[in-house]
Structure 1
Amino acid sequence: MRPRPNVVVVLTDQQRWDSTGVHGNPLGLTPEFDRLATHGTHVAQAFAANPVCAPSRAALQTGRYGTASGVYRNALPLPADTRTLASHFGAAGYRTGYIGKWHLAGAEPVPPEQRGGYGSWLGANLLEFSSDDHRTVVFDDDGVPVLLPGYRSDALVDAAIRFVGDRAGVPPSLGGPAQRDPFFLFLSLIEPHHQNEVDSYPAPEGYEERYQGRWVPPDLAALSGAGGTAHQHLGGYWGQIRRVDEGLGRLLDALRSLDLLDDTIVAFTSDHGCHFKTRNGEYKRSCHDASIRVPLALRGPGFDGGGRVSRPVSGVDLAPTLLDAAGLPVPDTMQGRSFLPLLRDPGAAADWPDDVFVQVSESEVGRVLRTSRWKYYVVAPGADPWHDAAAGRYVEAALHDLTHDPYELVNLAGAESHRGVAAELRRRLAERMVAAGEAEPVIDPAPAAPPAVQRDVDPSVRTLPWPPARLGHQPPH
């Protein structure tokens, strides 16, 4: 009988999906991630549950949207009785550990009851404030500050390698026990997030210079005159991502050297993207793919063999997928569903909806329906994004045809030619909101758009098919 797999999740902060080679980035930043995606499983359309740190992280830990978990914006702690990935793996006999940024507590250092059930702790609630690029301060199990040497992402990867080595013991090939207790490790990096107090993206020495003035994603290039900071910051941002990818390679090498790689599920993703102030006054909190779309790839038992998931996948789907892959039950309280059947059964895609639902908070109270072709966005007028988790009434704010406008530069909301498409997306979004536990909303159509943005639409997409899939949790077996 094959032993239960170890599980390692590597989470970056604010990493765009198109920073990776498998998504077309030409700079060679992510050879380790690209290998993970091509030899393991690549989730080609992965999206954050919310383009804000805390609610996105809560969704990854709980498989629930922010309005259901209680963490719909930053500065809201995860309730102490919340069942997280650590709770479920720990109950199954896994040794659990957390390293890096948490952002789900109400104090620093994070008190034990606010650590999400993780047994071993080396983290900080707000790592971007407790540390900088070469001064990484985290807190141990006893809440004592620890200064980790080296560049910040390297320092945290080093800590993860120590965690793995300490729990692995002597490999069986060197005389160690044939059966080793499994572990679940969550490694949460801060890069490539900006350093808040100086609004910069500090990369290791020489890395910013390597990439400054080179490739610019088309959306950032087109919107560079809108007050964005891409040309100022991209060199450091790309440099940070390159160093993180090197750290991923070192972590995989450590697992290989301990005879653990083939028995370990490794998942790599990010909490949200970055649009460099081109869509609003900061770096995320918008409906655009630059803000909500993230890289996601997995390797290890259940994911090896060059698989690809083409259906849209949400951050709420990762927790049930990891539990399913480890052979553990997926609780009915999770609103996401395991995408592992998409790899096992070619017919499973027929039961997987061609869309994801995204909640937007803090900048505004907004809701997104993102399909393979369409982006549909509504905003609650008059709602307070800091105090209101949801609203009863919304107004259409954006509609993008991603087939013909992949960089979301032409807003078709209110275009007479797309009224039918908008009506169908409006219905589907309302269903998604109700399935997420929100009240059934009133969504007002957008006012008529000026003639300059009117377009024709292919008659074949006037009526959009809706797969007969259940939106909530679906048991994996």
Structure 2
Amino acid sequence: MTMQDEGRRAFLKSTMAAAVAAAVPSTSAKAQNSAAAPAQKPNIVVYHSDQFRWDFVGANGLNGSTRTPNIDALAARGKNFTHTVTNQPVCAPSRSVLLTSRYATETGVWHNGLGLDQTLPTLATELRKAGYTANYIGKWHLAPGNKQPGGSLGPVTAEHRGGFLDLWEGANSIESVTHPYEGTIWDRDNQPIEYKDEYRVDFLTDRAERFLRQKQEKPFFLFISQLEPHQQNDQGQPIAPKGAAQRFLNCTAPEDLRAFPGTWQAQLPDYYGCIESIDNSLGRLRKVLEEEHLSDNTIFVFLSDHGCHFMTRNQEYKRSTHNSSLRVPLIIDGPGFHGTQQIPELVGLIDVAPTLLEAAGVPVPSTWKGHSLVPLLSDPEARQSWPNQQYIQISESMTGRAIRTKDWTYCVADLSGDTTQPAASSYHEYQMYDQRADPHELVNLAGRKEYRAKADELRDQLKKLSVAAGEPEPEIVDAKLYP
């Protein structure tokens, strides 16, 4: 650890201790005036919505049709990280990055259907070590596939739950065992919990409300993982609550979709309806926290695993390096995060777990690759030195790698078409977008000679990030033709 890193960690510890002390009054003046005095640990609630585009949050000001008053209120109270990207834009790999602060090729889950490496520390394991309970409701997607114990079509056994060993009410691939108005999840004893004639979002919200209204003997970490607005796989589309899609028949089509064929023309009304249901659910749980006198000492996080491009960029909904796949909402409120603030620095889902451990005063494992976002809230030097670059790994649609900066996206791909390996030794330049001049990514600049110098610079940075992620330095071949 460098002297700069030691200084940053010391700053974080003192900042969060002061923030928690301010949010939770101590029993004596002496305790209030001592940053080292014990303070009540904040509860942590992570609300995870699957395939939720960042620009469908009303507070981000880009979509006149979206209805997210409760998410907007969360942003008005707390910190809105407006330029957050996923480091692997597909369900299971993204979740593995979120919970372990490691890249997907390090977690064992570099594509869907693989099991999380059980030796890795997770956000849940570290919080439990610090005296928290770790509780999970909803879609998991980090157990091994169907042919192995704990597979996606049955209960997830305890060893595959990533440290969530207290309340467990979930399913590995919830879209495979449920539909919007009926289905089955399983409890910690692998006993079925069935629902019928209730919308899936509301059912999972009921289960979360039930937990929050119970007396808690310890600080708790609750992870709520909704499927919506992700499509129902066997029907190939998102499905809104009954009657909701009709309210969005003339909804806004985001500009990155309008220029391309895809499924958005038919599916946007249902997608909007699902977004509305997620917002209503979040509002319900925020109200429960208020009623149970938990809100003042609960860190509440709203985020997603990836976005949705409605088959405009490839033959499915994500797995590309476009903003419609990569950019996700990240809003945090609670002790240490109170006060309206938009954070414009580029951050990744890999940074969320260390941020929450810092906020809880829990040591961050030295093996984690992400960085706490806490200094960005109040430290001008941290903002000035923030790298503003994220490493992206792509699997399944192709084997690819990308670097995302504030101004550029640079993507390389294995043109052999082999997607059976986590990485390739050689890639070709594939896509390059200027985020300042072309935020909707309509013009691919890869191969254009007037951008050769910038491409070379981004290529060198990408190689360094690959090595830092534990991969061999790859060969990257220049694009020879305009795509």
Q: Which residue of 2 aligns with 1:139?
A: 186
Q: Does the aligned pair in 1 maintain the 2:299–2:334 contact within 8 Å?
A: yes
Distance 2:481 2:195 in 1: 57
Q: Which residue of 1 aligns with 2:83?
A: 45
Q: Which residue of 2 aligns with 1:126?
A: 173
Structure 2, unaligned runs of 5 or more: 1-25, 27-38, 145-150
Distance 2:285 2:417 in 1: 44
Q: Which residue of 2 aligns with 1:115?
A: 161
1:193-240, Cα deviation, whole Å (9 max, x unpaired): 1111111221111210001232100111111xx3x0001000000000
Shift of 1:301: 0.6
AA matched with 2:332 = L
Q: Which residue of 1 aligns with 2:295?
A: 261
Does 2:119 correspond to 1:81?
yes
Distance 2:67 2:390 in 1: 28
Distance 2:477 2:384 in 1: 31
Q: Which residue of 1 aligns with 2:333?
A: 299
Structure 1, unaligned runs of 5 or more: 169-179, 451-477
Distance 1:96 1:104 in 2: 16
Q: Which residue of 2 aligns with 1:201?
A: 238
Does 2:415 correspond to 1:415?
no
AA matched with 2:267 = H
**Secondary structure at 2:71's aligned position in 1?**
helix
Distance 1:103 1:358 in 2: 20
Shift of 1:448: 4.1
| Superposition pairs of residues 232-381 of structure 1, within 5 angstroms | 232-381=266-415
Q: Does the aligned pair in 2 maintain the 1:400–1:412 contact within 8 Å?
A: yes
Q: Does the aligned pair in 2 maintain the 1:416–1:448 contact within 8 Å?
A: no
RMSD (Å) for aligned C-alpha atoms: 1.2
**Secondary structure at 2:311's aligned position in 1?**
coil
Q: Which residue of 1 aligns with 2:249?
A: 212
Identity of aligned residues (%): 46
AA matched with 1:281 = Q
Shift of 1:28: 4.0
Distance 1:419 1:448 in 2: 12
| Superposition pairs of residues 366-405 of structure 1, within 5 angstroms | 366-382=400-416, 384-385=418-419, 387-405=420-438
221, 224, 227: which one pairs with 1:190?
A: 227
Distance 1:332 1:143 in 2: 34
Q: Does the aligned pair in 1 maintain the 2:310–2:317 contact within 8 Å?
A: yes
Q: TM-score, with normalisation over the residues of structure 2?
A: 0.88
Q: TM-score, with normalisation over the residues of structure 1?
A: 0.89
Q: Which residue of 2 aligns with 1:27?
A: 65
**Secondary structure at 1:266's aligned position in 2?**
strand
Q: Which residue of 2 aligns with 1:54?
A: 92
Q: Which residue of 2 aligns with 1:11?
A: 48
130, 149, 158: which one pairs with 1:92?
A: 130
Distance 1:350 1:443 in 2: 30
Q: Does the aligned pair in 2 maintain the 1:383–1:391 contact within 8 Å?
A: no
Shift of 1:383: 5.5
Q: Does the aligned pair in 2 maintain the 1:167–1:183 contact within 8 Å?
A: no
Q: Does the aligned pair in 1 maintain the 2:121–2:365 contact within 8 Å?
A: no
Q: Does the aligned pair in 1 maintain the 2:66–2:272 contact within 8 Å?
A: no
**Secondary structure at 1:44's aligned position in 2?**
strand
**Secondary structure at 1:250's aligned position in 2?**
helix
Q: Which residue of 2 aligns with 1:173?
A: none
Q: Which residue of 1 aligns with 2:200?
A: 152
Shift of 1:58: 0.3
Distance 2:388 2:339 in 1: 24
Distance 1:435 1:292 in 2: 20
Q: Closer, same or farther in 2 for the Cα pair 1:164/1:405, shift >3 Å?
A: same
Q: Does the aligned pair in 1 maintain the 2:343–2:377 contact within 8 Å?
A: yes
